[in-house]
Amino acid sequence: MKNQVQLITYADRLSGAGLPELTQLLDGPLAGLFGGVHILPFYYPIDGSDAGFDPIDHSEVDKRLGNWESVKALGERFEVMADLIVNHASAQSPEFQNVLKHGEQSPYWALFLKEQDIFPDGINDEQAQAIFRPRPTSCFTPKKLQSGEMVNFWTTFTDNQVDINVETPQGKAYLDKILTLFAKNNVKIIRLDAAGYAIKRAGTSCFMTPESFDFINQLSRQANALGMETIAEIHSHYQTQIDVASKVDRVYDFALPPLILHALFSNNADPLLCWLQQSPRNCLTVLDTHDGIGIVDAGPDGDKPGLLNAQQIDTLVETIHSNSRGESKQATGAAASNVDLYQVNCTYYDALGRNDLDYLIARAIQFFSPGVPQVYYGGLLALHNDMALLENTNVGRDINRSYLNEQQVEDALSKPVVKCLCKLIELRNHSSAFDGEFVISGSEEAFSLQWRNQDARAQLQVNLTTREAHITLQEPGQIKYFSLSDLLHNLKN
């Protein structure tokens, strides 16, 4: 993977059309900014109950976006990252519909996970309570077969997303087919979506079991043999991320977004700096994604202390709600049809109260933290919460999933804060210092993040109290020094 900033986007919501138009955008107005692009689910259909994460056919590109040749062509220009939706498929898929029609006689009967597969004698209350669930309802959905029999199918996320039994030959063949398609069409990086839920065992949380670690490791090796890297997508206690990092090529640093917010809200960077001393170096860094802002990743888990304590987490969430003028509260938790109750739904720009300087400091910290940075299209364009889309769909995460047209993209790219962010992206891409050694100094309100690679240096100095942020770049024969506030001021005038 290139050590350059990557874009996260839906093909249609940013380009206004499909994959060819996204390629033109990356080669045109966004030229030179991104070494790779994570294209969020482009499978059929892109407009299911979970914005493409509930594929009816994981092996088919939605024709409204293009085809596999479109993916292949984009992959010739940029490193393409795609989602392998490991845990589930749509209840509308031909395979599951065949199961409903033919029951145990269906060739796909073993493909989908049922209560009886893990609990042959039925599940009791204690076992049910032990299961980690991203929403408060049951992890099973009763489905009626054509014969009239009712069967409890495992549905970790929504009733329309039926879990796959990845330990059966049918489950393995399902994933093998998709991996092969990816490899043939220039996909270089695979995001293992919801992989932590893939292996269930009675009497456990059914999340990140030891068998899950083994499964992720095996799937990663399989992808590596086909010439692809894997990224584990897991929201959990920070120690879990450290453990998973040894099993895959890369993990997400999901603890970073809330820790940066906490630092800016409290003028105290100690929890952030504590994390950066131990965070996995083989990670992707994000501030925002197509999901909400993860909170569980920085907080405590039972008797395991977090990077932030429970009170700090509560204050963090309430400050986001206040900064967004209550908009995030309308999109979070039980206020809307949410899959994940441990995330706050809000654009990162609005979470910071639309403060341009604070937003740029947050991005600078991200770019100077260990890992390869990814920037979500809403974050690239410093978008506001999309309350109209939220009202239309009542899906909490849609507050940060705007549909844009060409003019809206052009207007957003002309904003000073976006111009400044683009300059930070170019800086991160072009300095060889970021291939070297990472050094932290300072504490509380004032700190420094520095990279050293032979004669190249890149340093970010931040004072949270005064909101001063300076960047120093040193290459053989030249030194550049500037402040983020001056850069922003100059672009506004």
DSSP secondary structure letters along 341-386:
TTEE-S-HHHHTTT-HHHHHHHHHHHHHSSSEEEEEHHHHTTPPP-
Residue 236 has phi, psi (to 5 degrees) of -165, -175
Beta strand 36-39 pairing with 6-9: parallel
Mean pLDDT of 313-338: 86
The distance in angstroms from the start CA to the end CA of the chain is 38
pLDDT digit string (tens) for 64-103?
A: 999 999 999 999 999 999 999 999 999 999 999 999 999 9
Is residue 266 pLDDT above 50, yes or no? yes
Is residue 493 pLDDT above 80, yes or no? no
Taking domain 435-492, whether its CATH number is 3.20.20 is answered by no
pLDDT digit string (tens) for 46-67?
A: 998 788 899 999 999 999 999 9
pLDDT digit string (tens) for 132-174?
A: 887 778 899 999 999 999 999 999 998 999 999 999 999 999 9
| Mean of the per-residue pLDDT values of the chain | 94
> What is the pTM (predicted TM-score) of this model?
0.94
Residue 230 has phi, psi (to 5 degrees) of -125, 150
Where residue 166 falls (left for φ over 0; alpha for ψ -120 to 50; beta otherwise) is: alpha
pLDDT digit string (tens) for 209-245?
A: 889 889 998 999 999 999 999 998 888 889 988 988 8
- To which H or E segment does residue 210 belong? helix 210-225
Residue 103 carries which DSSP code?
G
**CB-CB neighbours of 318 under 10 Å:** 12
- Give domain limits for the chain: 6-86+167-432, 94-162, 435-492
Is residue 246 pLDDT above 90, yes or no? no
Mean pLDDT of 300-307: 91
Does the N-terminal peptide bond of residue 210 adopt cis geometry, omega within 30 degrees of 0? no
Mean pLDDT of 197-207: 93
Looking at residue 340, what is its pLDDT? 52
Is residue 337 pLDDT above 60, yes or no? no
> Where do runs of H (alpha helix) occur along 79-188?
94-102, 115-118, 125-130, 169-184
What is the CATH superfamily name and number for domain 94-162?
Oligo-1,6-glucosidase; Domain 2 (3.90.400.10)
Looking at residue 412, what is its pLDDT? 97
DSSP secondary structure letters along 238-302:
HHHHHHHHTTSSEEEETTHHHHHHHHHHHT--HHHHHHHHHS-SSEEE-S--SS-EE-TTTS-BT
Q: How far apart are CA 81 and CA 89, in angstroms?
A: 20
Is residue 15 pLDDT above 90, yes or no? no
pLDDT digit string (tens) for 347-382?
A: 999 999 999 999 999 999 999 999 999 999 999 999
Mean pLDDT of 277-292: 95
Taking the CA atoms of 191, 194, 198 and 204 in sequence, report the sign of the dihedral they define. positive
Is residue 247 pLDDT above 80, yes or no? no
Q: How far apart are CA 238 and CA 232, in angstroms?
A: 14
Active-site positions read 193, 233
Is residue 333 pLDDT above 90, yes or no? no
Looking at residue 213, what is its pLDDT? 87
- From the number of C-beta atoms within 10 Å of its C-beta (0-12, 13-18, 19+), residue 239 rates as middle
- From the number of C-beta atoms within 10 Å of its C-beta (0-12, 13-18, 19+), residue 478 rates as exposed
If pLDDT is split at 50, 70 and 90, which confidence band does 335 have?
A: low
Is residue 339 pLDDT above 50, yes or no? no
6-86+167-432, CATH topology level? TIM Barrel (3.20.20)
Looking at residue 257, what is its pLDDT? 97
